[in-house]
Structure 1
Amino acid sequence: MPEDQLPDRMPRRRSIHTGPECAMKPSVVPWSAIAALTIVSTLAQMGQFGIGFIVMPVWLAHQGLDTQRAGLFAASQWAGMLAGLVTAPAIVARIGAKKTVSLGLTASIAAFSAANWISWPFWIVPGILTGLGIGMRWIANESWLFSLVPEEVIGRVIGLHETLISTAGVIAPALAAWCGPEGPLTVVAGLSFTSAAAIPLWLTASGHSTGPITCEATVPGGVRTKPVSAPLCLGMIVVAVGGIIDGALYGLFPLYAGARGMSDTQATVLLSYLGLGGMALQFPVGWMADRVGLGLTVIVCAMMSTLSLVTFALATPMTWLFTASGLVVGGMNSAFLTLGMYAAACSEKIALVRNMRLVSLAFTANAIVGPLVVSAAMTVFGNGVLVWPLAIASGALVVFTFGICEGKREH
């Protein structure tokens, strides 16, 4: 039977490689390729996000950035990521996933290379390039990676993947605290981690260079895309809240730390605690989603996020309660992204690239809005107000998701 006459119950998997035909899903799970692509994500995240998004704002604060300019720089990074997410599917369809990831790494390498030689307002350019590199790598590498994972273990694999990339939030700030965030090591570390990610990428077998993921945008005549599913819609809302918190918290944290009386070293140590929480809690979150479903897991994580943010705002800095709250804040905010990836990977496998793009766009668009809105509030009410808008956003997610679950129960 010709492929264009296949019934709807037999979904067609299509690859995003540049050839005219698409590969079918391999019968044997390519665990070596999954491992290699996970290493790519981990190393790239250390450089692009750990150094670029977490440590660079601290480094720039030493160059004299005030609250408003820090918010603009953070927004420029997320705007660059948004551009990368929008353009990545078309680039992948044209040149393949492996080369698209390479372009993303190259953009971030160029950003770190230029940072030491320019000043404000030209720092906006490295900010955009860093975000652009993450966006391209995110879509190309993770769509390829998750398409290779068996569905019955997808939650746990995503949880493990997010655990490993969350090490960026621990290692990068710890390295900055040890060597001094204001020194040249910040830029060197960003260059080194990002460049190292290219090694496992190009050692991955060429037979797995694109992965069995959808290329509907490149098929002549197009492939009819199914409507967005309810779990995917919830995943987009969850990552939207996560984006608001991520963008504001990491982009403006140095100013918040100063308002709470913390030194630069204490600020970078606390950032490591946020990252450690993100690293420790992602596998349990993925396991819980596999066992009890997306909705209940979102409610539990959002409730924990709200309570920990309130406690973080009220506790005395650098006490055990303050650092413990930081661990939970970091873990739950990373959990929002993990749950969004889970929703994308479990919904409509025939449109995995589309799912990943929708989730990542929801995350990134709100990560742009987050630092702009919260920095405006900080300008009016003081830098110490940072955490309260984030607690409100997380609490609203609890109410919204609980309402959805109750509505389904009534019907």
Structure 2
Amino acid sequence: MNTTREVGYWRQVASLNLISCLSQIVQFGIGFVVLPIWLAAIGVSAKEIGIFSGLQWFAMLVAIVFAPRVINRIGFGCSVFFGLILSVFSYLLLQLPFLIIYYIAAIFSGAGVGFRWIANETWLFQMVPKESSGRYVGFHETLIAISGVAGPALSSYLGATSIVIFMSGLLICLAAMLPLLIINNTVSLESDFYRVSQADSEVNKWGVIFLVGMCSAIIGGFGDGTFYSLFSVFSISKGLGVDAISSMLILFGLGAIVMQLPIGWLADKIGLHLTAILSGLFGVIAAILIYFYFANNNFLYLLILLLGGVNSAFLTLAVYAAANEKFGTMAERMKLVSVVFTASSAIGPFFSGFLFDFYDSGIFFGVCDYIYDFCTICDDCCDEETA
């Protein structure tokens, strides 16, 4: 790689990482994390919040399915821009105080994330060398995890019910569009970047690595969807205020930031299977202890930190699996991971939200516990298959 190409390469990588980071702050950190707090604070019921969050995730799922076609038609950069514009419309709609409008805004919000996510992530990860993919993915997911902290932090500072939080989101969204002006938008899914090599063209089925990745995507999605949408309701039922909830969510996001690079490094060193099993075991322990020790603030903070890191680790591992498999193209593998992650994220809020209306809200962490157990068992079985 000559100097000019090398400079262009790193400028492209840096710009795409910056877009991801800023976009996630707006689209996920505020859109998926802060909005449920805001809805709970203005008196929206757990079931309605579950529907709102479920609509976000289902809209994201639909966008993910259609994103490759959109990318082929208008290119990566325009697809990212389209996703961000949808988020802008979502924020504007939320200023109208009608529940049905909130649901429409949820659809715009989710679709915006879906289009931007597939375009941005596929664009970036096709440039990554396979031998260091774990560390690349871990670094990128660390940047993404900043959104889980930045959203609640802004909420805590500006106020979750203040219009200023929405205006801040709009400004950050506009800032995320700026790097698109300096990067190449000519690559499409039909380019050489996305053609399957001769050796890989003979691989037409999933390997065990990707199967473990799918299990990881299921658990990561279910955990994300359930936690971010309903933790505020769970915490309010336990007597916590909005500021305390924001602090907990900041810790959850900090856990994700701190642990993703080590998780990627660990996957490179000891393998995907063992890393996933360890993550599942720590997730089970954290979920059980949070339920029983919620009143112990100091211990609770540590557990929330651990749960945040472990939960986000599953998406990192799923992306790692997609980057290291051989069947199909990178775009196809990323799409599969994204679809599975998003579908399970959509099921989480719907399922848990309706449970909240019939059972004690503690069932939330019970659900988290069972799903972590499920992932651990699946990964253990996959590990035995490779033995």
Calculate the TM-score normalised by the size of structure 1: 0.88
Match of 1:325 in 2: 303
More helix by share: 2
SS across alignment from 2:161: coil
8 Å contact kept, 1:53–1:251: yes
Query: Superposition pairs for residues 288-303 of structure 1, below 5 Å?
Result: 288-303=266-281
| 1:111 counterpart residue number | 90
Question: Matched residue of 1:167: which SS?
Answer: helix
Q: Distance in 2 between matches of 1:288 and 1:115?
A: 41
Query: 1:191-219 CA distances to partner (integer Å, 9 max, x unpaired)?
Result: 12222111112221456687853268xxx
Q: How does 1:123-142 map to 2 (within 5 A)?
A: 123-142=102-121
Change (3 A) 1:286 1:182: same
Greater shift after overlay, 371-380 or 282-291? 371-380
1:8-47 C-alpha deviation (Å, 9 max, x unpaired) = xxxxxxxxxxxxxxxxxx9858122111100000000000
Q: Which residue of 1 aligns with 2:379?
A: 401
In structure 2, relative to structure 1, the CA distance for the partners of 1:245 and 1:258 (3 Å cut) is same
Q: 1:380 aligns with which of 347, 350, 358?
A: 358
Gaps in structure 1 of 5+ consecutive residues: 1-25, 217-222
Of the three residues 172, 195, 210, the one matched with 1:193 is 172
Structure 2 contact 77–185 (Cα < 8 Å) conserved:
no
Deviations 1:222-263 (Å, cap 9, x if unpaired)? x88822232112211111111111111101111101111111
Match of residue 251 from structure 2: 273
Work out the percentage of aligned pairs sharing the same amino acid: 32
Contact preservation (8 Å) 1:148, 1:212 = no
Counterpart in the other structure of 1:214: 194
1:252 aligned residue: 230
2:264 corresponds to which of 286, 289, 293: 286
Matches of 1:189 and 1:263, distance apart in 2: 23
* Cα contact 1:213–1:350 (8 A) shared by 2: no
Which stretch has the larger CA shift, 117-126 or 263-272?
117-126
- Of the three residues 139, 143, 147, the one matched with 1:168 is 147
Cα-to-partner distance string for 1:294-323 (whole Å, 9 max, x where unaligned):
101100111111111111111134611100
Give matches, 1:10-25, under 5 Å: none
Q: Which moved more, 1:84-93 or 1:197-206?
A: 197-206
Alignment of 1:355-366 (within 5 A): 355-366=333-344
Asked if residue 340 in structure 1 is aligned to residue 318 in structure 2, the reply is yes
Question: 2: distance between equivalents of 1:207 and 1:117?
Answer: 39
Match of 1:261 in 2: 239
Matches of 1:349 and 1:397, distance apart in 2: 23
Q: 1:296 to 1:365 in 2, by over 3 A?
A: same
SS in 2 for 1:166: helix
Which runs of no fewer than 5 residues in structure 2 stay unpaired? none
Q: Deviations over 1:119-158 (max 9, x none)?
A: 1022011111111011111111111101111111111011
Amino acid at match of 1:101: V
Q: Is the 8 A contact 1:93 1:215 kept in 2?
A: no
3-state SS of paired residue (1:123): helix
Q: CA RMSD in A?
A: 1.9
User: How far apart, CA to CA, are the structure 2 residues paired with 1:368 and 1:245?
Assistant: 10
Partner amino acid for 1:51?
I
1:77 Cα deviation from its structure 2 partner = 0.5
Q: Distance in 1 between matches of 2:294 and 2:367?
A: 19
The residue number in structure 1 matching 2:183 is: 204
Give deviations 1:250-295, integer Å, cap 9, x for gaps: 0111110111111111001100000000011000000001111110
Cα distance in 1 for partners of 2:32, 2:187 equals 30
Q: How many matched pairs? A: 378
Q: Is the alpha carbon distance of 1:329 and 1:111 closer, same or farther for their aligned partners in structure 2, counting shifts above 3 Å? A: same
Contact 1:81 1:134 in 2 (8 A): yes
